[in-house]
């Protein structure tokens, strides 16, 4: 069993590691590639690309790859 003093020493370190992992997972969820956004939205990948290009979906094109900002999309949907 771990000593109580050791547990108290490790607690802030573990808390920081968990916070960083949650932030990393949140970022990975936020920016979805076009194919994955299409699956989640139930539309074709081409439709996702066209909607991002027209500004109908929040997203970016980086080196010819389209990414959808799912967090911004969730926010937009909450406003409707």
pLDDT in tens, 28-52: 778 999 999 999 999 999 999 999 9
Most confidently modeled of 9-18, 29-38, 46-55, 70-79? 46-55
Percent of the chain past pLDDT 90, that is, above it, reads 64
The CATH number assigned to the domain holding 41 equals: 1.10.10
Q: What is the largest CA-CA distance in the chain?
A: 59
Give the model's pLDDT for residue 1. 64
- Sign for the CA dihedral angle at 26, 27, 29, 30 comes to positive
Q: Note down the domain range covering 45.
A: 4-79
At 54, list the tokens.
Answer: 């027209």
pLDDT of 12 over the 80 cut: yes
pTM of the model: 0.65
How many domains are contained in the chain? 1
Q: Give the pLDDT mean for 62-73.
A: 93
């Amino acid at each position: 069993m771990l000593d109580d003093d050791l547990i108290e020493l490790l607690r802030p370190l573990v808390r920081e590691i968990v916070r960083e992992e949650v932030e990393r997972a949140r970022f990975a969820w936020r920016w979805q590639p076009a194919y994955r956004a299409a699956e989640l939205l139930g539309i074709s990948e081409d439709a996702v690309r066209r909607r991002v290009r027209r500004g109908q979906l929040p997203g970016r094109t980086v080196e010819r790859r389209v990414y959808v900002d799912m967090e911004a999309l969730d926010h937009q949907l909450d406003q409707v």
